[in-house]
Amino acid sequence: MMNNNNYFTDKVVWITGASSGIGKAMARALDTVGARLILSARNENALKQIIDECQNADNHQILAFDLTEQDKLASVAKKAWKLNGKIDVLFNNGGISQRSLGIDTDLAVDRKVMEVDYFAHITITKALLPKLIEQKSGLVVNISSVAGKVGVPLRTAYSAAKHALIGFMDSLRAEVAPYGIRVVNVCPGFVQTNISVNAVSGDMSQHGKMDDEIAQGIPVDEFIQILLKKLSGNKDEIIIAKGLGKLAYQMRRLLPNVYFRLLPKIYKRNKA
């Protein structure tokens, strides 16, 4: 069990998807407690701006790359390790969402979402594992989604990728526990980020709209504080949701067949 007030102090923390949303808020929060950050995303200028705004900017480094470039990810992980000679915490956070009916979604979209939200994270994680096993410590935090626990209309590709990530990491957790490595899956509900705005539609175009549920969701800084507090416990799966997201998770877990019958009615009502 860790104390979230000091666990991250002087820890080397690598955050993917750090240029916005949850990743950006996490970087700001960990900067204030003295973590040594490696920030990654495609937008190098956005990462530089985040570091410039940090209290301890000299402690942090940038490693810009694209999660879709699968053939480069293993070498990127090696570069990340060499920056400080170790990595204590990996936040697998980068990703993309989708908003379209399954029947209207090109297979190219399904493949892209799976590549970014699933394969990229397991590639990076597997590249780091030998070093984490050698140092006999490490924390791997995976930002999944409540959509990785329940099926959600208009998110067939996204939900599938997040389910896959949880399944892989649940299995990996048991394998690496003897080496002192902890694996935690985090499932946010609706959090106030631009995830729906940046989501892809069925033809790979940008969705460009803010979901009402997300606009009314948990403020991202509040989400980060809840997450850091929950990471100080010993839970391997962390659900942070309220409202419809929390209800959907609880119903799917406790009353799955009731949930399956209600979901089409809720979807039909929301379309009206």
Active site residue ranges: 158
Q: Count other C-beta atoms under 10 Å from residue 88's C-beta.
A: 19
Q: Minimal CA–CA distance to 142: which of 22, 6, 21?
A: 22
Amino acid at 165: L
Q: Going edge to edge, which strands form the sheet with 36-39?
A: 61-62, 36-39, 12-15, 89-92, 138-143, 181-188, 237-240
| Torsional sign, CA 227, 231, 232, 233 | positive
